[in-house]
Amino acid sequence: MNPFKADLHCHSTYSDGTFTPKQIIDLALEIDLKGLSITDHDTIAAYEEAIPYAKSRGIALITGAEFSAVQNETNIHILAYGFPFDSELIKEFSKIHAKRRLDRNRTILNKLNEKGMIITEDDLVISEKSGTIGRPHIAYALMKKGYVESIQQAFRLHIGEGKPCYVAGLKFGVEETIQLIHEAGGLAVIAHPHLISDPKALKTILEFDFDGIEAYYGRFSPQKNQRWIEIGNQKQWILTGGSDFHGEIKPNLPLGSSWVNEETFHRLEHRL
């Protein structure tokens, strides 16, 4: 019997992943994961399909989402776990995020169009699912239309932070996002702390009321995780882990490349 492993960070076609929730669950079973959380950007739309399918296939599933927040000018991703699937607070929050993204994406498209790169909202649909649309979709459309050679180049030249067609749009603070997750009965976890670009923002948010930190990430070596493990232990936070799987668009982040054991999985599942 293989040990219990649960991947707590992956994206489906309801945000910027290329696998449907069912395909993620099938793949998880193939690689012998026993637990999973699907953490789409700013939405829990995957769960309607994922919950019955996970049940029928016998894999443990806990609710999750990855919310976008901002500290000063720095983008911070916050993982939420273990809230009730039918939480009105989370549903409402997701709706506001969708509206925020719609407005922001339109402004980005206008800027691109002014520079001669003609992308319409219809070009941003990469799957038949209706879910979160963000800059990765815009980058993909720019590549498909031949305006850039790669997704990376789209960010580097046009839509990355500080680039000519970047638009921040409406922002949510880190503290208000943590508070909302707590009010919804969930746990708030700092996602991929190594990606937080500004050390000052990192220092500030490490003082906030988080419940956990994503100490194990993707294919990172034990040395690379060590800093976050130490910080998490010092704060008595839950140490979480996940692959940040996105399917084919990010082949260097395979499902199951980071995971948590059964004890950690159940701590996230039962808060109340």
Which of 68, 71, 74, 243 lies at the binding interface for ligand AMP (CB under 6 A)?
A: 68
Which entry of Fe ion, ligand AMP, Zn ion, none binds 244, CB below 5 to 8 A by partner kind? Fe ion
Task: Identify which range of 16-24, 143-151, 168-176, 179-187 contacts Zn ion by CB under 5 A.
Answer: 16-24
Q: Is 247 near ligand AMP (CB under 6 A)?
A: no
Q: CA distances (Å), 148 to each of 9, 119, 140, 143, 205, in order? A: 29, 12, 9, 5, 35
Which of the ranges 109-117, 131-139, 170-178, 262-270 carries the binding residues for ligand AMP, by CB under 6 A? Answer: 131-139
Would you count residue 42 as binding Fe ion (CB under 5 A)? no
State yes or no: residue 135 binds ligand AMP (CB under 6 A).
Answer: yes
Does the protein bind ligand AMP through residue 134 (CB under 6 A)?
Answer: yes
Q: Write down the least CB distance from residue 131 to ligand AMP, Å.
A: 12
> Per CB under 6 A, does 76 bind ligand AMP?
no
| 74 makes contact with ligand AMP (CB under 6 A) | no
Q: Does residue 43 interact with ligand AMP by CB under 6 A?
A: no
Place of tokens 């002014």: 114
Which listed residue (6, 8, 16, 93) binds Zn ion by CB under 5 A? Answer: 16
> Least distance from C-beta 179 to Fe ion, angstroms?
20
Fill in the amino acid letter for 174: V
- Judged by CB under 5 A, the number of residues near Zn ion is 2
Question: Which segment (11-19, 100-108, 118-126, 173-181) binds Zn ion by CB under 5 A?
Answer: 11-19
Q: How far is CA 100 from the centre of its chain?
A: 17
Interface with Zn ion, residue 7, by CB under 5 A: no
C-beta neighbour count of 169 within 10 angstroms: 16
DSSP string, 48-115: HHHHHHHHHHT-EE--EEEEEEEETTEEEEEEEES--TT-HHHHHHHHHHHHHHHHHHHHHHHHHHHT
For residue 74, the minimal CB distance to Fe ion (Å) is 13
- Positions touching Zn ion (CB under 5 A) are 11, 16
Query: Which residues form the interface with ligand AMP (CB under 6 A)?
Result: 41, 68, 134-136, 151-152, 155, 160
